[in-house]
């Protein structure tokens, strides 16, 4: 965003809480942290030169490699001079014609346009468990992992949470810990990543094909460079259907979903897919009781974020790994020496890891202390759930633009694709506002229509059936239950954004600054 606005000749400055660039990949340094999109398309598309000069080393890049890439981008385009690092925003208020931003360090900034690039998964969700402060060991949230690392060699480790982060961290922690105890509330589906080094010839092939790769991404449902199969899975004989699933399983990664048409819209297709994945858990985990506990039965496949893994289910065959079902026997308290369950059972621990995710999509924005027209707090405007227009702005908050905000495809897509689409769209809007000396904010009517459409798009899928999903805010106590991302598909969404701009932004109230003055 900074690069794009700077290219338009607009004065722009970024405020960043971290002491370095990288966002997600600056903070999430937990063992096993790795991308679940493949490296050749989990990267920027705005520069052909950048595409050609960077060499990825793995199919699925790890945290350190992605952070190195983002640092390279910041240096290559001379972006660091446009940022204040180690700067945390404490509040941001619309002052009638400008935004006034205060920081925890006592600085005050003013700007005509405020763009939030706070990410969808950046507000760590640490569960409020009685007794945590009394724990004599050390505890960490995966999204706030110490930069110096945590040595678990020979120590008793507990992990709370088996979402995508826990699924990545658990095998790595188990390899070093004296004993690892996994506290699972919700069993999860997971697909093998099949990660491997990226050969020189593979990398060269991707670089040669980038134009076509980007074209497929823009036309796809999820911003990935592959299309969903048109095979009618249910029409296949049982052996052919099983072979199709098996081929997709062996290929691994997020492409597994693309091998099965209608998996998120047809319950019968999903049932077949889910049962195949359950059979893989049973055939991988040696102990039938442990396998059953690890088998998801409360939500259809891919209605929660579908993780990919390296030896996740195999890890439960290790003698130093225990699985605790905290849905059957909930955590009652953290004690000085470990974790106590409702049954009275105690698990002694030296290190406690919370892989409990984030206050997703709306949480990072609420954390900014935003106040719009007439001093209305965003927290009050969203008391019944996050509401935006196109995920790009909020009624009552003039000249505020939200990159991958609630109501946009965001977390249901390859994030760089969605981020770049928003950056380009916001930059074009700002250029229009500057040229005509206008302020802009979504109209309440357009925002209400979009909220209805977001809900309809979700209801046309099986996604809302995962009652415990963070897509609905279900992982945060007291959070309103609203389906937060847009499930209608990236290409469809991009088309609607383009139509909005081409029509002169009818969903926005455009007000002359001269008249306002």
Give the model confidence (pLDDT) of 100-145 as tens digits.
999 999 999 999 999 999 999 999 999 999 999 999 999 999 999 9
Q: Please say if the pLDDT value at position 468 is more than 50.
A: yes
Q: Backbone dihedral region of 180: left (phi > 0), alpha (psi from -120 to 50 degrees) or beta? A: beta
With a pLDDT cut of 70, the percent of the chain lying above it is: 99
Burial of 200 (0-12, 13-18, 19+ CB in 10 A): exposed
What is the arithmetic mean of pLDDT over 6-22? Answer: 97
pLDDT tens-digit profile of 23-67? 999 999 999 999 999 999 999 999 999 999 999 999 999 999 999
CA 37-463-194 angle, 5° bins = 25
Residue-wise pLDDT for 288-322, tens only, equals 999 999 999 999 999 998 899 999 999 999 999 99
Q: What's the pLDDT band for 467 if we cut at 50, 70, 90?
A: confident
Which residue(s) pair with 197 in the sheet? 58
pLDDT interval class at 348 (50, 70, 90):
very high
Checking if the pLDDT of 242 tops 80, the result is yes
Tell me how far the alpha carbon of residue 279 is from its chain's centroid. 28
Query: Residue 107 — φ and ψ, nearest 5°?
Result: -80, 155
Per-residue pLDDT, 459: 97
Give CA separation, 409 vs 101, 244, 483, 487, in Å.
28, 28, 11, 6
Q: Where are the alpha helices (DSSP H) in 54-99?
A: 63-76
SS3 assignment, position 468: coil
Task: Please compute the mean of the pLDDT values over residues 71-81 and round it to a whole number.
Answer: 98
CB 260: neighbour CB atoms within 10 A? 24
Judged by phi (left if over 0) then psi (alpha if -120 to 50, else beta), residue 506 lies in: alpha
Closest CA to 301 of 276, 324, 281: 276
| Burial annotation 428-465 (CB, 10 A radius, 16+ → b, else e) | bbbeebeeeebbbbbeeebbeebbeebeebbeebbbbe
Give 255-272 pLDDT, tens digit per residue: 999 998 999 999 999 999
When comparing pLDDT for 444 and 231, which is higher?
A: 444
- 141: β partners: 354
% of the chain at pLDDT higher than 90: 96
- The pLDDT of residue 295 is 98
For the segment 281-294, the average pLDDT, to the nearest whole number, is 98
For the chain, the residue count is 517
Q: Cβ atoms within 10 A of the Cβ of 250, count?
A: 10
Averaged pLDDT score across all residues of the chain: 96
In the predicted model, what is the mean pLDDT of residues 75-95? 98
Residue 517, pLDDT above cutoff 80: no
Rounded to a whole number of angstroms, the distance between the first and last alpha carbons of the chain is: 28
**What confidence score (pLDDT) does residue 502 get?**
98
Global pTM value: 0.96
Say how many C-beta atoms besides its own lie within 10 A of residue 342's C-beta.
12
The Cα 103–Cα 88 span in angstroms is 5
Nearest of 224, 299, 212 to residue 259 by alpha carbon = 224
Tell me, what's the pLDDT at 515?
60
For the cut 80, the answer to whether the pLDDT of residue 156 exceeds it is yes
């Amino acid at each position: 965003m900074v690069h794009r606005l700077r290219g338009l000749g607009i004065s722009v400055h970024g405020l960043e809480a971290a002491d370095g660039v990288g966002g997600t990949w600056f903070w999430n340094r937990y063992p096993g942290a790795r991308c679940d999109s493949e490296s050749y398309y989990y990267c920027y598309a705005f520069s052909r030169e950048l595409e050609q000069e960077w060499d990825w080393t793995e199919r699925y890049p790890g945290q350190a490699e992605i952070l190195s890439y983002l640092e390279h981008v910041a240096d290559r385009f001379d972006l660091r001079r446009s940022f204040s690092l180690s700067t945390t925003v404490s509040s941001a208020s619309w002052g009638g014609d400008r935004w006034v931003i205060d920081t925890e360090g006592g600085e005050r900034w003013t700007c005509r346009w405020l763009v939030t690039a706070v990410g969808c998964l950046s507000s760590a969700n640490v569960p409020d468990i009685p007794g945590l402060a009394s724990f004599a060991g050390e505890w960490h949230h995966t999204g706030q992992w110490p930069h110096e690392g945590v040595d678990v060699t020979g120590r008793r480790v507990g992990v709370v949470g088996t979402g995508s982060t826990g699924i990545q961290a658990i095998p790595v922690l188990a390899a070093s810990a004296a004993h690892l105890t996994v506290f699972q509330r919700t069993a999860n589906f997971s697909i093998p990543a099949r990660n491997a080094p990226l050969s020189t010839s593979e990398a060269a092939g991707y670089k040669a094909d980038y134009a076509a790769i980007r074209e497929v991404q823009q036309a796809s449902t999820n911003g990935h460079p592959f299309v969903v199969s048109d095979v009618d899975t249910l029409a296949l004989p049982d052996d052919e259907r099983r072979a199709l699933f098996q081929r997709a399983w062996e290929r691994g990664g997020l492409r597994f979903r693309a091998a099965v048409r209608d998996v998120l819209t047809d319950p019968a297709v999903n049932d077949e897919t889910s049962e195949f994945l359950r059979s893989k858990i049973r055939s991988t985990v040696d102990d039938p009781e442990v396998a059953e506990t690890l088998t998801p039965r409360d939500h259809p496949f891919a209605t929660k974020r579908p993780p990919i893994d390296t030896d996740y289910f195999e890890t439960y065959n290790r003698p130093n790994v225990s699985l605790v079902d905290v849905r059957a026997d909930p955590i009652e308290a953290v004690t000085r020496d470990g974790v106590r369950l409702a049954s009275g059972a105690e698990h002694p621990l030296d290190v406690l890891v919370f892989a409990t995710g984030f206050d997703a999509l709306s949480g990072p924005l609420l954390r900014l202390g935003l106040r719009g027209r007439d001093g209305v707090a965003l927290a009050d405007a969203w008391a019944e759930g996050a509401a935006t227009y196109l995920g790009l702005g909020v009624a009552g908050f003039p000249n505020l633009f939200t990159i991958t905000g609630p109501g946009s495809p965001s977390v249901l897509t390859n994030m760089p694709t969605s981020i770049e689409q928003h950056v380009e769209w916001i930059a074009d809007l700002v250029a229009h506002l500057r040229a005509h000396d206008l302020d802009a904010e979504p109209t309440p009517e357009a925002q209400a229509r979009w909220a209805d459409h977001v809900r309809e798009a979700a209801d046309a899928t099986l996604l809302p059936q995962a009652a415990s999903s963070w897509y609905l805010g279900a992982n945060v106590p007291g959070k309103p239950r609203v389906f937060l991302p847009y499930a209608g598909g990236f290409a469809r969404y991009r088309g609607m954004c383009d139509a909005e701009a081409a029509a002169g932004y009818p969903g926005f109230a455009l007000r002359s600054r001269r008249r306002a003055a």
